[in-house]
Chain A
């Protein structure tokens, strides 16, 4: 190894490993704050289990509320990772290096949070395992015709797949970290590096495994959000029963996923001082992708709403009307503003796609996509087919607390992750210099 490469490697380690050592006061404060918020959410959930699901604002006929909105939202966010990193890996996009691990970690944490919500939402959460097909003395099976069971299957597959997908590219970094650390960290990294020595055979096996996982995880990611969409589309409720829902949800998920990735990237870049790795070109490229998804999302939204309006079927028009000019209209137009108008203004020209503008667009898209999920679930439930039954949902402090706490939990997971693992794969840069 010549000296230039050696210096380069040292520089890499110095920058990318620096965040792993020590705790600044601000870090500890952030960790404690997010932990307390997360714990408050857990306490609220405990209260809800103890008192009954009625402490949430759900009612008849709007039997699904914030919890399912959050469920769809977080599962959508989880598409950040895996999908984007898998596409970039499969197409061998050279600029992917600082992006992939940040994205893959978002996926795992967002899925962990998202997968909790269907359980939080249950009337009897303590027997949630009745959904799982396991052999039991009463010879009872779950109902495989139910979209909820497809959902469970898809999410469990996706969660295990994305954990493996996050873990595989970590292995070379972990082995290297083990070499350079002491105490519990050494033992921790050594254990996780799974006997990695960096032989040619191991590299070959790893490359192949990552490539295959990238291909599989793409298929799983698309199917997961399609199945989430089918939770709604399989029901005969007006405006849920739509053939477009599968692709519409997948597009929305990738859209919000890229937004989440951009937001996390810009925060990490600032806090971990990775300005020399996470470059404006990454924001520019992902900003273009976000813009593309914004257009695609708008296309789907127009297609969905125009056909409904033109078809003019009474029960569907009730729901449609409540969205565009009724009680849900403010949310609808804010959603259009956040998901289409603002991203269009901020992202369509190269001069506008600065890091700051792209980050602002990412935040508006996240708000807009949360509202989109809200607008898909609640108007339909508020206006069922029989005109004599209507009812509006108002979230209670329990639901709002649990919702807020999940964002804190996401931040907390990320804080811990950045302390334990380098946010950017060191080996990907090193290998580059070998070639």
Chain B
């Protein structure tokens, strides 16, 4: 995935889309104040310069799907592991809730179900049937909308064709009005996301940790 920070307006449409697509539990204000709100995708705000000459910078942060993910080796039950496509996936059924992965994630993008999830009436009627509801006591995080990836793969296979570039769109990418986000296959050097990642504008978050994130942030070089 590539995210163009020069285009991002911080509107948080991606956050809302993620909530709707992935059946994220809602938190009441008291719980949210305790830092227990669920945002698989969040928009961090940074300020540049001295008041009153400040520039606000927005940075959408989601699971970076690291190639060398620090969360993976520490899980005692293999609830989080690397799948064949290089995605960092979470098996909810296998998670026993040690929360070690959450502590070891330098990007703090892992979210824990402190209680059984609840939705106020009638919101539970609009759950996405493609995404499972997580029980209390397990960890969850951004999946790159794996359900959408699977659907496109299935459709393409049924039609007997290859997946075209840009055919898979996670909810955040689809809903971004500024078209700041691009999703695609990094293994294909011709894909749009590969070209963006190879451009001089691309950086990765906390790159010096050696986690090899698969999210590229684009901004003009200083």
Cβ of B98 and Cβ of A148 under 8 Å apart? yes
B interface bracket (residues with beta carbon within 8 Å of A): 35 or more
Can you name the residue of chain A whose Cβ is closest to the Cβ of B70? A236
Cβ of A54 and Cβ of B114 under 8 Å apart? yes
> A: which residues have CB within 8 A of B?
51-54, 57-61, 63-64, 118, 121-124, 127-128, 130-131, 140-143, 145-149, 152, 231, 234-237, 381, 384-389, 391
Q: Is the C-beta of B102 less than 8 angstroms from some C-beta in chain A?
A: yes
Contact of A131 among B59, B76, B112 (CB under 8 A): B76
Cβ of A59 and Cβ of B35 under 8 Å apart? yes
Contact with A along B85-108 (1 / 0, CB 8 A): 000000000111111101110111
A-side contacts of B59, CB under 8 Å = 388
Q: Is the C-beta of B78 less than 8 angstroms from some C-beta in chain A?
A: yes
Cβ of B136 and Cβ of A388 under 8 Å apart? no
Contact of B75 among A51, A60, A61, A146 (CB under 8 A): A146
Contact of B95 among A124, A231, A234 (CB under 8 A): A124
Can you name the residue of chain B whose Cβ is closest to the Cβ of A391? B35
Cβ of A131 and Cβ of B77 under 8 Å apart? yes
Q: A54-B31, A54-B36 are in contact. List 12 more A-B contacts (CB 8 A).
A: A52-B137, A60-B111, A63-B99, A122-B97, A123-B113, A123-B138, A127-B96, A141-B78, A143-B78, A236-B104, A236-B209, A386-B61
In the complex, A148 Cα to B104 Cα: how many Å? 13
Q: Please judge, given known A-B contacts A60-B35, A386-B106, whether A147 and B96 are in contact too, CB under 8 Å.
A: no
Contact of A148 among B45, B100, B111, B138 (CB under 8 A): B100
Cβ of A52 and Cβ of B96 under 8 Å apart? no
> B: which residues have CB within 8 A of A?
31, 34-36, 44-46, 59, 61, 70, 73-78, 94-100, 102-104, 106-108, 110-116, 135-139, 205-206, 209
In the complex, A387 Cα to B108 Cα: how many Å? 11
In the complex, A422 Cα to B99 Cα: how many Å? 43
Cβ of A142 and Cβ of B137 under 8 Å apart? no
The main secondary structure of chain A at its interface with chain B is loop
B-side contacts of A123, CB under 8 Å = 95-99, 112-113, 136-139
In the complex, A235 Cα to B101 Cα: how many Å? 9
- B74, B104, B107 — most chain A CB neighbours (10 Å): B74
| Cβ of A238 to closest chain B Cβ, rounded Å | 9
A-side contacts of B61, CB under 8 Å = 386, 388
A-side contacts of B98, CB under 8 Å = 118, 121-123, 148
B-side contacts of A140, CB under 8 Å = 78, 94
29 A-B interface contacts by CB (under 8 A): A52-B116, A53-B97, A53-B136, A54-B36, A54-B115, A59-B34, A59-B36, A59-B114, A60-B110, A61-B103, A61-B108, A118-B98, A122-B137, A123-B113, A123-B137, A123-B138, A124-B96, A124-B135, A128-B96, A131-B76, A145-B73, A148-B74, A235-B70, A235-B103, A235-B104, A237-B103, A386-B205, A389-B44, A391-B35
Q: Please judge, given known A-B contacts A51-B115, A124-B96, A384-B108, whether A142 and B34 are in contact too, CB under 8 Å.
A: no
Cβ of A142 and Cβ of B77 under 8 Å apart? yes
Q: Please judge, given known A-B contacts A122-B137, A146-B73, A388-B45, whether A60 and B36 are in contact too, CB under 8 Å.
A: yes
Question: Which 6 residue pairs across A and B have the least CB separation, nearest first?
Answer: A123-B97, A54-B114, A123-B137, A388-B44, A52-B115, A63-B99
Contact of A143 among B77, B95, B111, B135 (CB under 8 A): B77
In the complex, A121 Cα to B74 Cα: how many Å? 16
Q: Please judge, given known A-B contacts A54-B115, A122-B98, A236-B104, whether A142 and B45 are in contact too, CB under 8 Å.
A: no
In the complex, A145 Cα to B137 Cα: how many Å? 22
